[in-house]
Amino acid sequence: MTEAQGGIRGWAVARKGVWSRLRFTSLRLRLVVVFALVALTAAVSASGIAYWLNREAVLTRTQDAVLRDFQQEMQNRAGALPENPTQDELQHTAGQMANSSQRFSVLLVAEDASGRTVYGNSGALDSFTLKDVPASLRKAVNKEQPVNGGNKSPYHLYWQRVVEHDTPFLVAGTKVIGGGPTGYMLKSLEPEAKDLNSLAWSLGIATGLALIGSALLAQAAATTVLKPVHRLGIAARRLGEGKLDTRLRVSGTDELADLSRTFNKTAEALEKRVADMAARDEASRRFVADMSHELRTPLTAITAVTEVLEEELETESGSMDPMIEPAVRLVVSETRRLNDLVENLMEVTRFDAGTARLVLDDVDIADQITACIDARAWLDAVELDAERGIHARLDPRRLDVILANLIGNALKHGGSPVRVAVRLAEDELVIKVRDHGPGIPEDVLPHVFDRFYKASASRPRSEGSGLGLSIALENAHIHGGEITAANFPEGGAVFTLRLPRDASALTERPPGGDEGKKGDA
pLDDT tens column, 118-152: 888 887 545 788 888 898 888 888 888 888 877 77
Shortest CA distance to 222 belongs to which of 38, 43, 33? 33
User: What is the DSSP-derived secondary structure letter of residue 196?
Assistant: H
Q: What percent of the chain has pLDDT over 70?
A: 83
Which pLDDT score is estimated for 498?
92
Q: Exposure of 148 by Cβ count < 10 A (0-12 exposed, 13-18 middle, 19+ buried)?
A: exposed
Q: If you average pLDDT over every residue of the chain, what do you get?
A: 79
Spatial separation of the C-alpha atoms in residues 489 and 474, rounded to whole Å: 27
Q: What percent of the chain has pLDDT over 90?
A: 9
3-state secondary structure of 73: helix
Residue 8 has pLDDT above 70, yes or no: no
| Alpha carbons 507 and 399: distance in angstroms, whole number | 16
What is the distance between the alpha carbons of residues 200 and 53, in angstroms, rounded to a whole number? 12
Q: Is the pLDDT of residue 218 over 90?
A: no
Q: Which pLDDT score is estimated for 389? A: 85
- Looking at residue 9, its pLDDT comes to 52
Average pLDDT over residues 454-467: 54
- Reported confidence tier of residue 509, pLDDT bands at 50, 70, 90: low
Phi-psi region of 20 (alpha: psi -120 to 50; beta: other; left: phi over 0): alpha
d(CA 363, CA 431): 14
User: Residue 356 pLDDT > 80, yes or no?
Assistant: no
Please report the pLDDT score of residue 143 as a whole number. Answer: 86
Is the pLDDT assigned to residue 1 strictly greater than 60? no
Mean pLDDT over 345-364 rounds to 77
* Domains delineated in the chain: 27-199 (3.30.450.20), 244-356 (1.10.287), 357-455+464-507 (3.30.565.10)
Over residues 23-74, the pLDDT tens digits come to 545 666 777 777 777 877 887 888 778 777 777 777 778 888 888 888 888 8
Give the model confidence (pLDDT) of 69-85 as tens digits.
888 888 888 888 888 88
Q: What is residue 230's predicted lDDT score, i.e. its pLDDT?
A: 80
Segment 431-447 mean pLDDT: 88
**Model pTM above 0.75:** no
Rg of the Cα atoms in the chain:
51
More confident residue, 230 or 315: 230
Q: H/E element holding 110?
A: strand 105-111
Q: What are phi and psi of 78, to 5 degrees?
A: -70, -30
Q: Which amino acid is at 497?
A: L
| Rounded Cα gap, residues 359 and 509, in angstroms | 13
Q: Taking the CA of residue 469 as centre, how many other CA atoms within 13 Å lie in the half-sphere pointing to its CB?
A: 25
